[in-house]
Amino acid sequence: MSAERLSREVAALYDNNPANIIAMLQEMQNRNKNRYLPRPELEALAACLAVPVAKVYRIATFFKAFNLEPKGEHMVSLCVGTACHVRGAAKILTALEGELGIADGGTTSDLKFSIETVNCVGACALGPVAVINEEYFGELEAEMLPEILNRFR
């Protein structure tokens, strides 16, 4: 779908009202397989709403929830909250970064995986915990990572 058509479709969902730009951007990002907002889509939305492109960019860059770069198909969210930290989350992060060849916040060049650290995923008793595509992996040990990641490769 072209950026113009996508932005027209999404803008219409929100009454073409520029006051709803945040919701429109969220919808556009959710529809993108790599969960990001490509530049042509931001420009098309601005044109569609007849607002300056800078305004759309300001909003897209202000909120941490919006990505301007593509994310991996699979987001590996590793908890580094207190409970997971005391159970060795730092060691898991190092192993995870080594396994995927990227640092925290990075995305693999094949756009398969991204890593992010989070502060608590509500499963403290199972720490250290990682969540991949909403699936929880608890009591993690570094040695478990290759097999877990292979399930998503």
Stretch that binds ligand FES, among 49-57, 94-102, 105-113, 116-124 (CB under 6 A): 116-124
Q: Which residue is nearest to ligand FES (CB)?
A: 81
Least Å distance, CB 97 to ligand FES, is: 18
CA distances from 137 to 29, 97, 116, 144 (A): 26, 17, 15, 10
φ, ψ of residue 102 to 5 degrees: the values are -140, 160
Tokens of 89: 């989350």
Where in 18-57 is the site for ligand FES (CB under 6 A)?
none
Name the DSSP letter for residue 107: B
Least Å distance, CB 62 to ligand FES, is: 28
Q: Which is nearer to ligand FES, 98 or 122 (CB)?
A: 122
Stretch that binds ligand FES, among 11-19, 53-61, 69-77, 79-87 (CB under 6 A): 79-87
Query: Could you check whether the bond before residue 18 is cis, i.e. omega within 30 degrees of 0?
Result: no
